[in-house]
Amino acid sequence: MENQGSGGLVSDAISAISRHIRDNDLMPGDRLPSEASLSKELNVSRTVVREAFRSLAAMRIIDLATGKRAAVATLDHGAMSLMIEHGVHTDQINVQQIYDVRRTIETRIVTLAAIRRSDTEATDLLALAQAMGHAVDDPARLMELDLSFHLLLAQASRNPVFTLIVGAFQGITRQTWPIGWKSRPTPASRELMLATHMDIARAVAASDPQQAVASMSLHFDESVRALLTAGLS
């Protein structure tokens, strides 16, 4: 209906749709108007509306599904994960820098988790640490357990932003984790890594923030050393 601060029709459409979400206080799950009705309302072709939808979907602000109307999305780290991966692949970020951020974030996370974790989370965390011990010979599975462990820890912090950030690193971690694992060739060094996770889980389960932070700190010392050994700048 109106001409916006024109940065291209698609940009304007993105703004209009975002505003529509805000102005109507749409919550996750709520559905948006159809492409056809939006294209009529904004006086643009369906092509433009579709490209705007795709953009918002790429940022996980809305969900698209064939046949169904677009819906407001819940928080998801998928997009951030891709962005971080891109940054690393294009040499704009290196792995050490990511580990510095992770250490900073996860030190805080483990403190909060030790204080706020639910009993279920404590149990699940211990179970994950234990499962890792049983998966020493299955690196792929071990890696997924490791990732789940850190993500669950973040959830236990009761701050979705921490969860988001930890999740954002999962994509690139999947690509670098095997490198770190290979640089821990001896059973002893591998056991140490598993034991550290168990220590963290136990400290969180015991609601002991100090001990949890100490274990997490050890975990990162060891991980960063492993990566350096592997020559990852």
Partner DNA sequence: TATTACAAACCTGTCATACAGGTATGGGAG
Partner DNA sequence: CTCCCATACCTGTATGACAGGTTTGTAATA
Residues at the site binding DNA, with contacts judged by CB under 7 A: 8-10, 34-37, 43-48, 50-51, 53, 64-70
Question: At its nearest, how many Å lie between its own copies and the CB of residue 192?
Answer: 26
Eight-state DSSP code of residue 63: E
Residues 6+ apart with CB under 8 A from 25: none
CB 86 within 8 A of CB 129: no
Place of tokens 């220590």: 199
Query: Rounded distance, CA 20 to CA 51, Å?
Result: 17
Residue 36 interaction partner, one of its own copies, DNA, none, beta carbon < 5-8 Å per kind = DNA
Q: Distance (Å, rounded) from C-alpha 224 to C-alpha 220? A: 6
Tell me the closest approach of the beta carbon of residue 13 to DNA, in angstroms. Answer: 8
CB of 62 to DNA, least distance (A): 10
Residue 44 binds which entry of its own copies, DNA, none, CB below 5-8 Å type-dependent: DNA
Smaller CB separation from its own copies, 142 or 163: 163
The footprint of its own copies (CB under 8 A) covers: 8, 10, 18, 21-22, 26-28, 47, 50-51, 54-61, 66, 72, 74-75, 79-80, 82-84, 86-87, 89-93, 97-98, 100-101, 104-105, 108, 159-162, 164-165
CB 213 within 8 A of CB 110: yes
User: Regarding beta strands 62-63 and 71-72, do their DSSP bridges make them parallel or antiparallel, or are they unpaired?
Assistant: antiparallel
Minimal distance in Å, beta carbon 35 to DNA?
A: 4
Yes or no: say if 110 and 209 are a contact pair by the CB < 8 Å rule: yes
Judged by beta carbon, residue 30 or residue 138, the one nearer its own copies is 30
192 binds, among DNA, its own copies, none (CB under 5 to 8 A by kind): none
Closest separation in Å from C-beta 79 to DNA? 17
Tell me how many degrees the CA angle 208-214-217 measures, rounded to the nearest 5: 135
CB-nearer residue toward its own copies: 84 or 145: 84
Supply the minimum distance, in Å, between the C-beta of residue 6 and DNA.
8
Cβ atoms within 10 Å of 45's Cβ, excluding its own: 12
Could you tell me where the beta strands, DSSP code E, fall in 15-64?
62-63
Q: Which is nearer to its own copies, 60 or 190 (CB)?
A: 60
Nearer to its own copies among residue 82 and residue 131 (C-beta): 82
Tokens 């690139």 — which residue? 172
